[in-house]
A and B are shown apart, each in its own frame.
Chain A
Amino acid sequence: MNDREKKENYMTKDTENIIVVKNLMKKFGSFVANDNLTFEVRKGEIFGFLGANGAGKTTAIKILSGLSFPTSGDVMVAGYDVYKERELVKKNIGYMSQKFSLYEDLTVRENIRFYGGIYGLSSKYIKEKTEDLLERLKMKDIQNSLISSLPLGWKQKIAFSVAIFHDPKIVFLDEPTGGVDPITRRDFWEMIYEASNAGITVFVTTHYMDEAEYCDRVSIMDKGRIEGMDTPGELKRQFDAQNMDEVFLKIAR
């Protein structure tokens, strides 16, 4: 075990919070996309990041996953500083973007193999894990189909599996269920729970308020600010609402 790995173990074992954000600002010119965000995500929880389109969710998720620099503020992810240790952050996270991220002209198996390889996993390990994964997804018989030939719901499931293939500590999901039918959405959340049970912290953005109910804790963003953050139940009590939809409407007005 080298020093770096020792440090990783130390940081994640001994701190409850796996994501720590303090006074995060992100500006594009004069437009403030993230205005003074401060929050923590605890290890192992499913954290919902809610907000309307354009509220600044994607901007924040890009900063957390090391795709974009913050303008100011402190951001620690998996115990690493996103300013200085971005590559270490990347080693420990998975990411599924809003835009579709698999290669349409590669098969299911080839996509998995490629991303596994990029994370430095060995060919043997990739092979074993792929078999296992295809088994669980019941996709054995389409393993050699091109991604472009599959329905959207399946693609999303594969994309998610690819995002957590290298067993990251955290997975960031940016609107993973956009445009998917309700049944597939349910299946997808099953997969999220499975990952969570396996110890992966899930950070998910969505604008479907019913999905918020599935999260351990949610934060609700509006116009770049966090307007509320707690468990769904607590939020409902706080805002005196029947469901998350109402909570959201009360915040957005």
Chain B
Amino acid sequence: MRKIKFILQKEFIQIFRNKTMLPMIFGIPIIQLVILVHAATLEMKSIDMYVVDKDLSSLSHKLVSKFEGSPFYNISGSSFSIDEANEAIEKNQADFILHIPQGFERDLMRENSSKVQLLIDGINGTAASLVNAYSSSVIADFNRNIIVDLTQRPQIVDSNPISVETSYWYNPELNYKIYMLPGILVILVTIISMFLAAMNIVREKEIGTIEQLNVTPIKKFEFIVGKLVPFLIIALFELAFGLAIGKFFFHVPMVGSLGLLFGFAVVYLLVVLGIGLFISTISSTQQQVMFIAFFFMLVFILMSGIFTPTESMPMWAQKVNIINPFYYFMRVIRMILLKGSGFWDISREFFSLVIYAVIMLSLSVWRYRKVS
């Protein structure tokens, strides 16, 4: 057991002595956190529209100015030719075309209904459906005003017999950042700990110092523990640091118990470090480690539910998530921080990870060979 102390000491000296590693470990991820949380937003702030008004009536003018008046919309061009409008879309100068056909006002008066066309750049499906939803609601709103104006009977439009009131718990302002920050933090902490641990051992293999360790009577578990603990501690610091930033800069609520969160994080990190160590035992170069770790990381991150709800994924993907460590922590950190879930709420995830950690760590102790 005393031997572990010496390994720990040595690892810490090496980490803190490396002038480039420290900023890498603490500086860059934090900058990333601050930047990327801002980037991760699906809200539309501005929509570029192109207007083709072939009607040129007072009604069509009113419709266009209704859009103009909204802070969301920015008219990036207008003409009488659909071809020119299409070109603007092709050049990415507009997100959608509002096409008001000739006879728009006349049809509305005579036939009680008329049409406008929204031609939306559909390449980005998410953005396109948002543009659709926003613009349709602008038109519906406009329509309501017109009906009231023309009929002089305001009650006709708000006679909805079922009133629906929506309340958003835990986050009434629908602030997406407080949801994204814990998610991105999980990714950063995981990357740091998994890669550091995996590459550290392989680096000793590459340089040759591992051979010197292998001729000593050190036990496998002493070696593994000595390699694991420094990165566990660094990762916990990183987590704490990230949470502090979340608290002070993004006002992420911390409803639940931080003790519970860190307790869970320790188990999670044991899994992640176990995976990292396991990868290092089956690789001989740092390049291999990176590749293998990278591959799994990309797959696991995308499936973890950081951007999209996991229950909407196909069944097989949900099965795969059973072995996806990100999936557990992503869920739990958000549950504890934002909703204040307690131990019994997260016990299923907790015990799953405990089992996972035991499996990964035994695998890496078993695979670590002191002799070839």
Q: Which positions in A face B, CB cutoff 8 Å?
A: 62, 65-69, 86-88, 90-91, 93-95, 97, 99-106, 110, 113-120
Contact = CB atoms under 8 A, between A and B. Distances in A.
Nearest to B208: A99
B208 A100 contact: yes
A118 B13 contact: no
A77 to B, nearest CB: 11
B209 interface: yes
A113 B6 contact: yes
Contacts of A94: 215
19 contacts: A62-B372, A65-B215, A66-B214, A66-B371, A67-B370, A68-B372, A87-B217, A93-B215, A100-B207, A101-B208, A102-B209, A103-B14, A104-B207, A105-B14, A106-B17, A114-B10, A117-B5, A118-B6, A118-B7
Contact of B211 (A93, A101, A104): A101
B218 interface: yes
A57 B123 CA distance: 65
Contacts of B9: 113-114, 117
Contact of B10 (A67, A88, A103): A103
A131 to B, nearest CB: 18
Interface in B160-191: none
A48 B187 CA distance: 54
B212 interface: yes
Given A69-B372, A91-B217, A110-B13, A101 B5 contact: no
A9 B224 CA distance: 32
B14 A118 contact: no
Contact of B216 (A69, A104, A113, A115): A115
Given A101-B208, A113-B6, A117-B5, A68 B371 contact: yes
B2 interface: yes
Contacts, number: 82
Contacts of B17: 105-106
B109 interface: no
A66 B9 CA distance: 26
Contacts of B38: none
Nearest to A68: B372
Given A103-B14, A114-B6, A86 B371 contact: yes
Contacts of A106: 10, 13-14, 17
Contact of B2 (A97, A113, A117): A117
Contacts of B62: none
Interface string B337-372: 000000000000000000000000000000000111
Contact of A99 (B7, B211, B370): B211
Contacts of A88: 217
Most chain A Cβ neighbours within 10 Å, of B18, B215, B217: B215
Contacts of B5: 117
A103 B7 CA distance: 12
Given A90-B216, A120-B3, 20 more contacts: A65-B215, A67-B211, A67-B370, A87-B217, A87-B219, A94-B215, A95-B211, A99-B208, A100-B208, A101-B211, A102-B209, A103-B14, A106-B13, A110-B10, A117-B2, A117-B5, A118-B7, A118-B216, A119-B216, A120-B2
B213 interface: yes
Most chain A Cβ neighbours within 10 Å, of B10, B17, B18, B213: B10
Contacts of B213: 118
Nearest to B214: A67
B208 A105 contact: no
A176 B13 CA distance: 27
Contacts of B209: 101-103
A97 B212 contact: yes
Nearest to B215: A95
A88 to B, nearest CB: 8
Nearest to A110: B13
Given A67-B371, A86-B371, A105-B17, A118 B211 contact: no
A14 B2 CA distance: 33
B6 A67 contact: no
B204 to A, nearest CB: 9
Most chain A Cβ neighbours within 10 Å, of B213, B214, B217: B217
Nearest to B11: A114
Nearest to B5: A117
Contacts of A116: 6
Contact of B6 (A65, A86, A97, A117): A117
Nearest to A126: B6
A157 to B, nearest CB: 16
